[in-house]
Amino acid sequence: MTGFQGRHFLQIPGPSPVPDRVLRAIDMPVIDHRSAAFAELGKAVLSGSQKIFQTSGPVIIFPSSGTGAWEAAIVNTLSAGDKVLMVETGHFATLWQKMARRLGLDVEFIPGDWRHGADPAAIGEHLAQDKDHAIKAVMVVHNETSTGVTSRIALIRKAIDDAKHPALLLVDTISSLGSADYRHEEWGVDVTVSCSQKGFMLPPGLGFNAISEKARAKAKTGGMPRSYWDWEDMLKPNADGFFPYTPATNLLYGLREAIAMMLEEGLENVFARHKRLAAATREAVTHWGLEVLCQNPEEYSPVLTAVVMPPGHDADQFRKIVLENFNMSLGAGLTKLSGKVFRIGHLGECNELTLLAALTGIEMGLSIAGVPHRAGGVDAAMKLLEDRTSANAANHLKLIKT
């Protein structure tokens, strides 16, 4: 790969490319994390994160991966032996339930086909049958990174409420936060888990828990033994902009800049951009005659698109051809999808021209790899983007005139 000119196209669904503005923000001297200057930074990222999670409640930032944030959500709210309800939506939902079992939880795992999101009706039925309220939490992945399928969290919250069940709602937004519309407070989520290297457009290294008052109260009276992950240990110094142990200072500089970028664009515009790029990607895929893995249009991910390879063609071999010829990385199929799908990331710092370049590389790769397809997918995506851009411009002019 050393012979390539130009940038590497990182079109995996995270880590996402880090914008120049964020890179420059990270490139700062380390400062005293007990100083007034650091307190200003700490307060800025903590309050700014609330805007991205769309909550007025606390957001806790750990120096960790998303996996660490998963564990923090569990050990603060649940105890060994507690029963939880989880849904098999893909690879990462499966990993989260494996962690829950290893931590001693009794997991009821609703099986899934990896092509659909969590079914609110099925969750509601399970809770309605739980007359003794043995289920202490419902745990769902919002955007399943392995499949390109989203789950409808607002409807899941409604199903819990309709069943009049007191279970906590824990949601993984590791690949969706900052890219897909997500409303922690409005949707009544008790713990939202996320991390830095997806929609926040940062390198890996920060884990997040947004928490409700109900979840915080539960943590104060229960949960598992914990030290590093303890919410209250974090929240006390957070009130003054500090952390109980050495924070990832330079990543926090980057976080402040990433939040500023999203708020400058406007969250609604960020979400609309991701939906527009996802629609263009699907337009190209369907024109090629290939199949989108997600089967329910209401659950299409704005973050990534998983593409099913035709029988007899290996997705990993195709990805290798694209990488070697065009210096572009596509996401692999994970576990039961290994070799069967490739994933196109269109999140974070991605715009129309970035996406069209990526789709061009994929279309050329399909030809080189001998994958049966109909040429012109890039043109189809371009037409969709042109139409939507023209409509947006017309609406903008109409607003100016009125």
CA dist., res. 352 & res. 199, Å (int): 17
Write out the two tokens for 338. Answer: 């290994």
Beta pairing, strands 291-292 & 168-172:
unpaired
CA dist., res. 83 & res. 107, Å (int): 6
pLDDT at site 393: 53
Could you tell me the pTM of the whole model? 0.94
Angle (deg, nearest 10), helices 352-369 and 377-401: 170
Q: Is the pLDDT of residue 1 over 50?
A: no
Q: What is the pLDDT of residues 183-242, one digit of tens each?
A: 999 999 999 999 999 999 999 999 999 999 999 999 999 999 999 999 999 999 999 999
Instruction: Count other Cβ atoms within 10 Å, centred on residue 122.
Output: 15
Cα separations in angstroms, 226 against 75, 100, 212: 7, 15, 19
Write out the two tokens for 28. Answer: 């700062």
SS3 85: strand
343 assigned to a ligand binding site: yes
Q: Is the pLDDT of residue 42 over 50?
A: yes
Nearest to 38 by CA among 338, 250, 347: 250
Cα separations in angstroms, 248 against 198, 208, 348: 17, 13, 21
Write out the two tokens for 319. Answer: 């990805």
From-to residues of CATH 3.90.1150.10 in the chain: 9-16+266-401
Name the residue with higher pLDDT: 202 or 7. Answer: 202
From-to residues of CATH 3.40.640.10 in the chain: 20-264
DSSP assignment string, 18-50: PPHHHHHHHSS----TTSHHHHHHHHHHHHHHH
Residue with tokens 């999203």: 262
Output the CA torsion 18→21→22→27 (10° steps).
120
Confidence of residue 4 (pLDDT cuts 50, 70, 90): confident
Instruction: Count other Cβ atoms within 10 Å, centred on residue 88.
Output: 17
Q: What is the pLDDT of residues 253-293, one digit of tens each?
A: 999 999 999 999 999 999 999 999 999 999 999 999 999 99
Phi–psi pair at 63, nearest 5 degrees: -75, 95
pLDDT at site 18: 97
Q: What is the pLDDT of residues 131-186, one digit of tens each?
A: 999 999 999 999 999 999 999 999 999 999 999 999 999 999 999 999 999 999 99
CA 214 to chain centre: 24
Contact 57, 50 (CB under 8 A): yes
DSSP state at residue 245: S
Output the CA torsion 210→62→252→30 (10° steps).
160
User: Superfamily assignment of 9-16+266-401 in CATH?
Assistant: Aspartate Aminotransferase, domain 1 (3.90.1150.10)
DSSP assignment string, 271-285: HHHHHHHHHHHHHHH
Cβ neighbours of residue 259 closer than 8 Å, sequence gap 6 or more: 45, 48, 49, 51, 52, 200
Q: Is the dihedral of CA 308, 310, 314, 320 positive or negative?
A: negative
State the Cα angle at 299 between 296 and 303, rounded to 5°.
130
Q: What is the pLDDT of residues 308-353, one digit of tens each?
A: 999 999 999 999 999 999 999 999 999 999 999 999 999 999 999 9
Confidence of residue 394 (pLDDT cuts 50, 70, 90): low
Beta bridge partners of 122: none
* Residue length of the chain: 402
What value does the mean pLDDT of the chain take?
96
The CATH code that applies to domain 20-264 is 3.40.640.10
pLDDT at site 396: 47
